[in-house]
Amino acid sequence: MKQFFKTVFASTLGVLIALGIVTMGSIFFFIGVAASSGGSTEYKPSKNTVFKLSLNGMLVEQSVKNPFSELMGENSGQLAVPDVIKAIRRAKANDNIKGIYLEAGSLSSGFAGVEAIRRELEDFKSSGKFIVSYGDFYTQGSYYLCSVADSIFLNPQGSVSLVGLASQGIFYTGLAEKIGVEHYIFKVGTYKSAVEPYFLKKFSDANREQLTSLLGSVWGNMTSAIEKSRNISSDELNRYLNEGLATGQATNAVDYKLADKLCYRYEVENAVKEMAGQDVKGKLKTAGVDKVASIKVKEKDSKNKIAILYAEGEIRDEDSSSPFGANEQVISEEMAKKLRKLKDDDDVKAVVFRVNSPGGSAYISEQIWKEVVELKAKKPIVVSMSNYAASGGYYISCAANKIIAERTTLTGSIGVFGVVRNFTGTFDKLGVTTDIVKTNTYADLGDFTRPMREDEKALIQRGVEQTYDLFLTRCADGRGMTKAEIDSIGQGRVWTGEQALERGLVDKLGGMDDAIKEAASLAELTDYSVTVADGPKDFFTKFMEKKMDEVKVSMVKSVMGEEQFNLYSTIQRAKTESGVIARMPFDIKGL
């Protein structure tokens, strides 16, 4: 009898717990749906409010709003460049907002995104309102932004971590030799170095040359802006960098005029209160990006629309994406359908195609290119390049009427590659054998259980060369140049926006506003309104589409840690790459 009651009690308790979980889940679900579907409401700032811009998380073109994070008081982890720019402009125009308080944090971003925000902050200063920044620690990206501030404050135990840029390669050649994997490399382009990790143990001379050039160009733009804003010489800044003073005492930053004063957070907040006309004894009255961006202003409402279409992430077939890429943006063939829809929308008179992509599948890039050409035949399309528009990212851009890039946009990389793996050595080590029966000579082409024949290698190399020739043709036609001219600046080489301008790969340096003005000019519009063609999906749409993959990613991250997860996901992504690839060969770290 005692065992019976124990069993009943345990079963009842289990049911009650389950009901509790379901009930709480339902409550959060419906609250979340309401928050997600409700949209942003108008925010009316009270007198003497300060716009607080927290430089934390990942800078993206479009963010996914997660109402659960907001309910729990957590940061969504994403900061959308257009939202930040919109908020800065609203803060500039609203009399109740007295200034901007920049709170430096760990900001993950490409170079062009922070350049666009910094330019907007510089424009904000023309209003006569203040910009103050504070940081426990300043990363290079956050400091680049904050250097525009009127006053820069640093925690007495903090640092301004200016050390320079670096690009590190991971090479798998030694590992492949140990486990018996052989890589067959097929590529066109002296500088197309994405395959180097599979057959080299260090950077090639050509890759080292282009990396040195890129890093120098990007870093030169960043440091010259810092020197100008802080009124310091390049010699002073280089001494701070090369003597490792960023890792020393916080006073080093003040001595070299990188910071104005060492203060604790509450001291800076009190100073901000005084500047804004707030009660120093009260709580600092601030508003964040979402609130400030939602301040209503009178906007044009015209039947003539200029549509902005965002293309962000790697170019690939979504169906082949791994769960390890569930938290990444992907440009798929769906983008071609979106372009087609804009072509057929008579209210849309011109399109701004915002590209932020290192490239990917050459096949998918071709499908998107075709729709750009079709749209261009009916109405103007202007490409606005963000952090990356390289390789496949350039492929989908080259046919536009005009291309506008930021100075630090990484673009070009006109080249292609393919990799085939042979696991014969691995199978030998494991004692595994295979056999095959086939009807024709190339029925087993790409069989990874045996070495490739020379005639098979020739077939694949021919296919890669044909793809490169097509890539050259697309670029030559789009840019009004010869294939030979494109080839001379192609060969897989990556250029910054300012370098690409000198070589005719882009038409102008600038941001989204410049692209919109160019599109209006080409469409001969004076009366128009701007709309986002495909807004960011809300949290629940994204959750329903990828919920299982995201759960897997979250679980793996919690076990492996962020750094190990990123390395592992890179390897997993490399394993799933198939077909001819047009992707930028490296990533630059340092912000």
Q: How far apart are CA 361 and CA 529, in angstroms?
A: 34
**Cα 279 to Cα 75: distance, rounded to the nearest angstrom:** 28
Q: Which residues pair with 591 in a beta bridge?
A: none
* DSSP, res 62: S
* Catalytic site includes residue 193: no
Q: Are 72 and 341 in contact (CB under 8 A)?
A: no
Coil, strand or helix at 75: coil
Q: How far is Cα 151 from Cα 100, in angstroms, rounded to an integer? A: 11
User: In this structure, are residues 413 and 499 in contact, taking their beta carbons and an 8 Å threshold?
Assistant: no
Residue with tokens 């990389």: 413
List the alpha helices (DSSP H) in 246-351: 251-255, 265-276, 289-293, 334-344
User: For residues 21 and 358, what is the distance between their CA atoms, to the nearest angstrom?
Assistant: 42
Residue in 380, 349, 376 with CA at minimum distance from that of residue 518: 380
Rg (CA), the chain: 27
Q: Helix or strand or coil: residue 271?
A: helix
Whose CA is closest to 356, among 332, 381, 331?
331
391 is annotated as an active-site residue: yes
How many other C-beta atoms are found inside a 10 Å radius of the C-beta of residue 451?
Answer: 11
Give the angle subtended at the CA of 347 by the CAs of 342 and 348, to the nearest 5°: 40
- Decide: 518 and 382 in contact? Cβ < 8 Å: yes
52, 187, 192, 379: the catalytic one is 192
What the block records as the tokens of 475 is 């670029």
Q: What is the dihedral of CA 396, 591, 502, 60, to 10 degrees?
A: 30
The active-site residue, picked from 386, 391, 413, 569, is: 391
Q: In sequence order, what E strands does 86-150 have?
A: 97-108, 130-138
Q: Is 517 exposed, middle or buried (0-12, 13-18, 19+ CB in 10 A)?
A: middle
- Catalytic center residues: 192, 391
